[in-house]
Chains A and B, each alone.
Chain A
Amino acid sequence: MIENRPFLAFLTHLVLILGVVIVVFPVYLAFVASTHGSGDFMRGLVPLLPGPHMIENYSFMLNEGISTAGAPPLSIMLLNSLVMAISIAVGKIIISILSAYAIVFFKFPFRLLAFWTIFITLMLPVEVRIIPTFKVVADLGMLNSYPGLIIPLIASATATFLFRQFFLTVPDELMEAARVDGAGPMKFFRDILLPLSRTNIAALFVILFIYGWVQYLWPLLVTTDSRYYTIVMGIKRLAATADAEPQWNFVMAAVILAMLPPVLVVILMQRLFVKGLVETEK
């Protein structure tokens, strides 16, 4: 700090604390709601302090679910979300590291075309091409299946770019030395390039895991069988029980459970998360 201004320092902390309150408060309310009994929401105002029903609400949602609302037990949905998020992250990393490797370390006809074909996916978010994509998946018989949930979301221009940028910074001498020593392209890739990319892969994994976890529209469209519901889309079904007021305590328990895994990933791997976020968007 350049000069000592106690008032400004006070203001700074005030701003930050207010910011944290704004960010945390909605989630605090949801947590509080998830610890109360169903009757506590009839009195006209949400409770502001935690109640005594936390364990029973959570275990009820995890093990039984609300079948009248078409929601299976949350443990199944959590597992589906986990499978989907991890597969999307791993799949995206594998296919993009391979294609970035091909684009940077080889010269071949149509290299530019391949690059642009990948690049253009950046411009086609699921939301703008939902109906035809849905049709393709339906024609391939992939509705209500893990491949249907995962594969259409797996192509990623951003991951390919990140690896391409990184590969371009790898010194040419490294590859020349490997070739002099008789390493073929796959050996070079496996023994030199992959170990060098470790931090990039980890950072990307964090970002892509979150991307996969928060998917909503796509699972909503391709799953009608409750065995394949992911938790993020399942919540919506819980909350939208016809015209009746939802059972807030159960809905909020589901909300907390749905946020917990990706939020924990961000908090525990903050450094990788920041690196991944700032670098993929460059």
Chain B
Amino acid sequence: MQAKRTVFPNKGLPYLLLVPQLAVTLIFFIWPALQAVKSSFEREDPFGFKTTFVWFENYRRLFIDPLYLSTVSKTAIFAVSVTALSMSLSLILAVAVNRVLRTNRLYTTLLVWPYAVAPVVVGILWWFMFNPTIGIAPYMLRAVGISWNHRVDGVDAMVLIIIAASWKQISYNFLFFVAGLQSVPQSLIEAAAIDGAGPFKRFWTIVFPLLAPTTFFLLIVNINYAMFDTFGIIDATTQGGPAQATNTLVYKVYTDGFIGLNIGSSSAQSVVLMIIVIALTAIQFRYVERRIQY
């Protein structure tokens, strides 16, 4: 790993400087993670008197539990939809902003602030809009003959959380796409224009391929976001219901652990999630190392 050519000779000082961060990391990150791994191999009796070591029993039960497997597929549907919806909207907006000159900053300001809205607040905003009794969206949908009720209809509920989660992520993707677009060399675009390529052709044959690194990076970040940062949105809108239709993996860890008090199963789920995060982070970092410079 990289360090400076010349370094300070002190022996004790670097440890002293590292102590605060390492202490917090060990106490609140590493130790709890190890505890989660440990209790994922244990089963607690209903009264909490004794725990027995059960090897992979919790995992085995987890992977034959149809409820868990349906949560896995629900999470996948949710993550893919949020990623696709929010990234495509952001790309369109970023390309548009990149075309305007004078109003560029104004539009950017108007589009980026949702980044600062808490997920749970986002959930409440959309929950209010789609409220079956007084919301404006169901009212308009009724006018075109669609009846909306996310309290009883699982598909409606899923659509609701997908829209809410995508809305929040637009600003983030937008900023990264704008940054990506600005690094596309203008000379390439001008050359293509001289060769007679129209704006759409230029976009698909030059700009979009050159954006590939940004797109791939955002793909990973968005999947990560949809899986782990949407707890607040789900808790504020559907709470995993109706009938588990919108229960994602992270939400289930919480409901099984804190509400259902099934520590063994919840820990096993945590470990599965950690493996997923590690895989996603590894992919992300491999990509960063190989980032292609055009």
Contact = CB atoms under 8 A, between A and B. Distances in A.
B175 A125 contact: no
Contacts of A132: 31-33, 35-36, 39, 267
B231 A216 contact: yes
A101 B20 CA distance: 13
Contacts of A114: 18, 22
A98 B1 CA distance: 18
Contact of B111 (A19, A118, A251): A19
A13 B95 CA distance: 11
A9 to B, nearest CB: 8
A129 B273 CA distance: 9
A216 B120 contact: yes
A255 interface: yes
Contacts of B270: 128-131
A5 B199 contact: yes
B10 A185 contact: yes
B123 to A, nearest CB: 9
B96 A15 contact: yes
A242 interface: no
A89 to B, nearest CB: 13
B113 to A, nearest CB: 5
Contact of B100 (A16, A98, A184): A16
A217 B231 contact: yes
B27 interface: yes
A55 interface: no
Interface stretch (B50-58, B62-70, B76-84, B125-133): B125-133
Interface in B1-35: 1-8, 10-11, 13-15, 17-18, 20-22, 24-33, 35
A175 interface: yes
B244 interface: no
Contacts of A181: none
A101 B258 contact: no
Contact of B175 (A103, A168, A277): A277
A192 to B, nearest CB: 13
A235 B101 CA distance: 40
Most chain B CB within a 10 A radius of its CB, from A46, A131, A239: A131
Nearest to A129: B32
A83 interface: no
A155 B21 CA distance: 6
A252 B277 CA distance: 35
B208 interface: no
Interface stretch (A22-30, A58-66, A67-75): A22-30
B59 to A, nearest CB: 15
Contacts of A101: 17
Interface size class of B (residues with CB under 8 A): 35 or more
A213 B117 CA distance: 9
A108 B14 CA distance: 8
B209 to A, nearest CB: 19
A214 B118 contact: yes
Contact of B193 (A3, A104, A184): A3
B179 A278 contact: yes
Contact of B113 (A94, A136, A217, A266): A266
A235 B121 contact: yes
Nearest to B202: A2
A128 B199 contact: no
Contact of B8 (A13, A106, A135, A152): A106
Most chain A CB within a 10 A radius of its CB, from B7, B113, B277: B113
- Nearest first, the 6 closest Cβ-Cβ pairs linking A and B are A132-B32, A214-B118, A262-B116, A132-B35, A106-B14, A102-B17
Interface of B: 1-8, 10-11, 13-15, 17-18, 20-22, 24-33, 35-36, 39, 89, 92-93, 96-97, 99-101, 103, 107-121, 124-129, 133-136, 139, 167, 170-172, 175-176, 179, 189-190, 193, 199, 217, 221, 228-229, 231-232, 235-236, 250, 253-254, 257-258, 263, 266-267, 270, 273-274, 277-278, 281, 288
Interface of A: 1-3, 5, 8-9, 12-13, 15-16, 19-20, 22-24, 26-27, 29-30, 33, 41, 44-46, 48, 94-96, 98-99, 101-108, 111-112, 114-115, 117-118, 120-125, 127-133, 135-137, 151-152, 154-155, 160, 168, 172, 175-176, 179, 184-186, 188, 210, 213-217, 221, 232-233, 235-236, 239, 245, 248, 251-252, 255, 258-259, 262-263, 265-267, 270, 273-274, 277-278, 281-282
Given A131-B263, A131-B266, 9 more contacts: A12-B100, A22-B167, A105-B3, A128-B253, A129-B32, A131-B257, A245-B133, A258-B121, A281-B176
22 contacts: A2-B189, A2-B193, A15-B92, A23-B111, A26-B128, A30-B128, A46-B134, A99-B21, A99-B22, A106-B8, A106-B14, A118-B22, A122-B281, A131-B36, A132-B32, A136-B35, A152-B28, A160-B21, A216-B119, A251-B128, A255-B124, A282-B288
